[in-house]
A = this chain, B = another copy of it.
Amino acid sequence: MADVFRTTRRVEFRETDAAGIAHFTSFFAYMEEAEHALLRQLGTSVVALTEQGKISWPRVSASCDYTSPVRFEDDLNIEVRVDHLGKKSVTYAFWFFHQRNEVAKGQLTSVCCHLPPEKAMQAIDIPPTLVAGLSSFQVHKDAPPTG
Contact = CB atoms under 8 A, between A and B. Distances in A.
Contact of A47 (B19, B40, B56, B60): B19
A133 interface: no
Given A24-B28, A62-B63, A16 B18 contact: yes
Given A62-B24, A64-B62, A36 B18 contact: no
Interface residues of A, number: 40
A62 B66 CA distance: 9
Interface stretch (A76-84, A114-122, A139-147): A114-122
Contacts of A61: 63-66
A45 B24 CA distance: 17
Interface of A: 12-14, 16-21, 23-25, 28-29, 32-33, 36, 40, 45-47, 56, 58-67, 69, 71-73, 115, 117-118, 121
